A and B are shown apart, each in its own frame.
Chain A
Amino acid sequence: MTAQPALAIEAVGLEKSFGDTRAVAGVDLAVPAGAIYGVLGPNGAGKTTTIRMLATLVEPDAGSARVLGHDVVAESDAVRGLVSLTGQLASVDEELTGRENLVLVGRLLGHRRAAARARADELLEAFGVADAAGRLVKHWSGGMRRRLDIAASIVVTPQLVFLDEPTTGLDPRSRNQVWEIARALAAAGTTILLCTQYLEEADQLADGIAVIDRGRVIAEGTPGQLKASVGTGSLHVRLLDPGRRAEAARVLEAAVGTVVLEPDPAALSAACADAERAAVGVGELGRAGVGVAGFSLDQPSLDEVFLALTGHVAEQQPSGTLEEQAS
C-alpha cells in the first residue's frame, strides 16, 4: 500500500447542477486520512451528488477534488482503484445470490475464480449472512442487503469507503450492526465518508462533521464543537421534594442561569454550557438544604444544532421510502 496523504479528501468549490436545479453550489471539504467524516444534511441538500462526484460517478461542473491524492476528473481511474462506494440504494444485484454478488466483484477486481470464492465466503461469514449466501438477494431483508453491500465494498480492501445513508430504512438492530461494521472499518485505518440525514448517526460515528444545506457546507467541526458553537446546554435537576422547587429555582437562577420549570413537578433545568458552573449550582442547592434526587448536564442535540444553523428543521424522510423504491 502506498503512503496516504494527510488529507484523504480535499475538495474545493465543487458545483453540480441538473437542469435548473443547483444540487451542489460550492462545497469545500477537507477529510483527514483515517477518520470517519460525516456529511450531515436533510434530503436534497446535495449529499449524494457530492459523494457521486468524489467517487467519480459524476463530473463536477466547477471546482476540483483530490481523493487520496488523485484528481477525481483527470485521474478518475486511479481514484476508483482505491475507493469503494456503498450507495443509497444498496448497490448489489438482486437477481443474483449473495455469494454470486461477491464473487462477481472479486472477479471484476482481478481475483482468480478460487480466490474470489474464498474471499466471498470469508466475507459472507464475517458479515453474518453466510446462511443466506445461496439465496437470491431480492429475498433478503434490508439489513442483510446493506451488510452485503458493505461486504462488496471491501472484497479488495479499499483505502476509503463512501457510505451513502447506510442505515436509511433499517430497524434499530440492523442499524447498530452497520455502525459496528463502520467502526471496525475505521479501526483498521480505512477512511470513511459518511453521508447521513440522521443526526444521531453522525454524532455516534463521526470524528468530524460538515453540515450541508442547499448545496453548501454551512458549518464544520467535531460534534462537540458544533454543539458548542450553537450555545448553551442545560443542567437538569430532579428534587427529592417537589414542594421545594420554587426555592431551588431561586438558587439555580442566582448560581447558574435562566431556569425553566419542567413538566415533571420535581424537575427543573437551568441554561448552562459549563460543567464547573453546573457543579457550583448543585453545591449551592446542597448548602441551601434542598435535597437533590439526581442531576445531569446535557449538551444541545444535533437537532438543535441544525435548527440553529439553518433556521429550519431538518426534514426527516419517512423511513422505508427508499427501501420501497429498491424492492
Chain B
Amino acid sequence: MTATTTAPGSADTAAVRRAIADTVRPARPGRLSTALTFGWRGMLKVKHVPEQLLDVTVTPVMFLLLFTYLFGGAIAGSTSAYLDYTLPGLLVMSVLFTTVYSGVSLNTDLTKGVVDRFRSLPIWRPAPLLGSLLGDSVRYVVAGTVIIAVGVALGYRPDGGVGGALAALALVVVFSFGLSWVFSVLGLLMRSPNAVMNAGFMGIFPLTFLSNVFVDPATLPGPLEAFVEVNPISVLATASRSLMAGAPDGTAIAVSLAVAAALAAVFLPVTTRLYRSR
C-alpha cells in the first residue's frame, strides 16, 4: 500500500481531514422538529422493512377467514351475520397486535446500540420516543385498513358507512397510542426483541380472546362473563362495533379513551425514565 493511492472502498484520510476542518455548528433544532425527524426515521423503517407490516396483518386476516367460515355459521347462524358481529372486533385485534411492535422496535434499537447514538446527541430527550409514534401510526392504519378491506371484500357492509368505519379505525388507533407505552416499557426491560414479542403476545393474545371480539359474552359461564365484560378490549370492541353500526355508544367510547389516557399517563413516564437510564 502506498501513501498516494487509495484503494477502492478505503477511507481517504485527506478528505476526512477536510471534513473535520469544517466546524460549522448549526443552531439546535426545536423539539417538534426533532420529534418529526424521528418520525421520518420510523417511516423509513416501514419502507425498508415492509415484512413487519405483513406479519401483523396476516394473523388477523387468517383469524377473520377461519372464524367467519369455520365457526361463523355455528356461532351466529350464518357467516354473514357473524362477519357483521366480529369484524369490528377483529379491527381491534389487528391494530392492538401491531402495538407489540412498538416494544419490539425499541428493544431492537437498544440491542443494536443505536440508542447510544441518540442518547449522546444534544437533543430533546423524549423526541425519539414521541417520533416513533408517527411510524407506529402508519402501521396501525395499514393493519386496520387491511382488515376492513378484506371484510368488505367478503361482503361486510357497515351500517355506519365509510364515516363509521373511519371513526372506529380512529378510535382504535388512539387507544393503541396508549397501549403501545406498555409494550415500550416491556421493550426497555427485556433482553431481546424476540423476548418482547413473546411476552407481548402472551399478554395480548389471551386478553383478546377473553373479550367479546369473537363471541357474545352472554353465552359464557358466569365468572368468565364477568371478566369479559370488564376487559377493556371488550369495551373497545363494543365502541368500535357501535361506531361501525352508525349508533355510537358514548359510554364505551369514553371508557376506551379514558383507559388509553390512563395507560399513557402511567407508562409514558416510566418509558421515558427507563429510556434515559438504560
Chain B residues within an 8 Å CB radius of A111: 26
Which chain B residues in 28-68 approach chain A with CB under 8 Å?
28-29, 34, 37, 40-41, 44-45, 48-49
Contact A184-B17, Cβ < 8 Å, known A81-B122, A108-B123, A127-B11: yes
Q: A190's closest neighbor in chain B, by CB?
A: B20
C-alpha spacing A125/B12, complex, angstroms:
8
Report chain A residues within 8 Å CB of B48. Answer: 95-97, 136
User: What is the CA–CA distance of A95 and B132 in the complex, to the nearest angstrom?
Assistant: 14
Q: Which of B110-118, B155-163, B233-241 contacts A (4 or more CB under 8 A)?
A: B110-118
Closest chain A CB from B227 CB (angstroms): 38
Contact B18 A126 (CB under 8 A): yes
Question: Once the chains are docked, how many angstroms separate the CA of A91 from the CA of B277?
Answer: 17
Is A8 positioned at the interface, with any CB of B under 8 Å from its CB?
A: no
Tell me, yes or no, whether B6 is within 8 Å of chain A by CB.
Answer: yes
Q: Is B23 part of the contact surface with A, judged by Cβ < 8 Å?
A: yes
A108 pairs with B114, CB closer than 8 A: no
B121 contacts A122, C-beta separation under 8 Å: no
In whole angstroms, how far apart are the Cα atoms of A127 and B121 in the complex? 21
Chain A residues closer than 8 Å to B2, beta-carbon distance: none
Binding stretch for chain B, among A151-159, A194-202, A267-275, A281-289: A151-159
Say if the beta carbon of B9 comes within 8 Å of chain A.
Answer: yes
Question: Could you tell me the distance between the alpha carbons of A88 and B11 in the complex, rounded to whole angstroms?
Answer: 20
Query: Within the complex, which residue of A52, A88, A110, A129 is in contact with B28, where a contact is CB–CB below 8 Å?
Result: A110
What residues on A are CB-neighbors of B6 within 8 Å?
128
A19 → chain B closest CB, angstroms: 14
A144 to B120, CA, bound (A): 21
A189 to chain B, nearest CB (A): 8
Which chain B residues border A10 with CB–CB below 8 Å? none
CB distance from B94 to the nearest CB of A (A): 23
Interface string of A157-191 (1 = CB under 8 A from B): 10000000000000000000100110111011010
Closest CB-CB distance, A178 to chain B, in whole Å? Answer: 8
Q: How many Å lie between the Cα of A156 and that of B9 in the bound state?
A: 23
| Neighbouring A residues of B41 by C-beta, 8 Å | 93, 96, 100, 104
B113 contacts A90, C-beta separation under 8 Å: yes
Q: Collect the chain B residues with CB atoms within 8 Å of residue A83's CB.
A: 120
Asked if A88 and B12 make an inter-chain contact with CB atoms under 8 angstroms apart, the answer reads no
Cβ of A33 to closest chain B Cβ, rounded Å: 15
CB of B188, distance to nearest CB on chain A (Å):
14
Q: A80-B120, A105-B117 are in contact. Are A128 and B11 (CB under 8 A)?
A: yes
Which one of B24, B25, B111 has the greatest number of beta carbons of chain A within 10 Å?
Answer: B25
A157–B120 Cα gap in the complex (Å)?
A: 14
Knowing A57-B116, A127-B11, A181-B11, the reply to whether A157 touches B23 (Cβ < 8 A) is yes
Chain A minimum-CB-distance residue to B120: A85
Contact assessment for A122 and B19 in the assembled complex, using a CB-CB cutoff below 8 Å = yes
Report which residue of A57, A123, A183, A187 has the largest number of chain B beta carbons within 10 angstroms of its beta carbon. Answer: A57
Question: Which chain B positions have C-beta within 8 A of A57?
Answer: 116, 119-120
> Which residues of the other chain, A, contact B119 by a CB distance below 8 angstroms?
57
A185, B20: Cβ atoms under 8 Å?
Answer: yes
Decide yes or no: A107 and B37 within 8 Å by CB, A91-B113, A126-B18, A157-B22 being known contacts: yes
Q: Within the assembled complex, what's the spacing in Å between the Cα atoms of A185 and B23?
A: 13
Q: A107-B29, A136-B48 are in contact. Are A126 and B11 (CB under 8 A)?
A: yes
Find chain B residues with CB under 8 A from A131 CB. Answer: 8-9
Give the most central of A96, A108, A125, A152: most B CB within 10 Å.
A108
Q: Are B29 and A128 in contact (CB under 8 A)?
A: no
With beta carbons under 8 angstroms apart, the residue of B11, B21, B49, B109 that contacts A188 is B21
Q: What's the minimum C-beta distance from B38 to chain A, rounded to whole angstroms? A: 8
- Chain A residues closer than 8 Å to B16, beta-carbon distance: 126-127, 181, 184-185
Q: Which of A286-323 contact B (CB under 8 A)?
A: none
B44 touches A96 (CB 8 A): yes
A50 close to B (CB within 8 Å): no
Answer whether residue B153 sits at the interface, using C-beta atoms and an 8 A cutoff. no
Does chain A have a CB within 8 A of B230? no
- Known contacts: A154-B19, A184-B16. The answer to whether A92 contacts B114 by CB under 8 A is yes
Provide 27 A-B residue pairs closer than 8 Å at the C-beta atoms, listed in order of the A residue: A57-B116, A58-B277, A83-B120, A87-B116, A89-B116, A92-B114, A93-B41, A93-B109, A94-B114, A95-B49, A104-B37, A105-B117, A105-B121, A108-B118, A109-B26, A110-B28, A115-B26, A127-B12, A127-B16, A128-B9, A136-B48, A152-B117, A157-B23, A177-B10, A183-B13, A190-B20, A326-B112
Interface positions of A (Cβ within 8 A of B): 1, 52, 55-59, 77, 80-81, 83-85, 87-97, 100, 104-105, 107-112, 115, 122-123, 125-129, 131, 136, 144, 147, 152, 154, 156-157, 177, 180-181, 183-185, 187-188, 190, 325-326
Closest 3 CB pairs of A and B: A89-B113, A126-B15, A110-B26
Other than the given A94-B114, A181-B16, A184-B13, 11 more pairs (CB < 8 A) read: A52-B116, A80-B121, A84-B120, A92-B113, A96-B45, A127-B12, A128-B9, A128-B12, A131-B9, A147-B11, A177-B11
B residues lining the A interface (CB < 8 Å):
6, 8-13, 15-29, 34, 37, 40-41, 44-45, 48-49, 108-109, 111-114, 116-123, 277
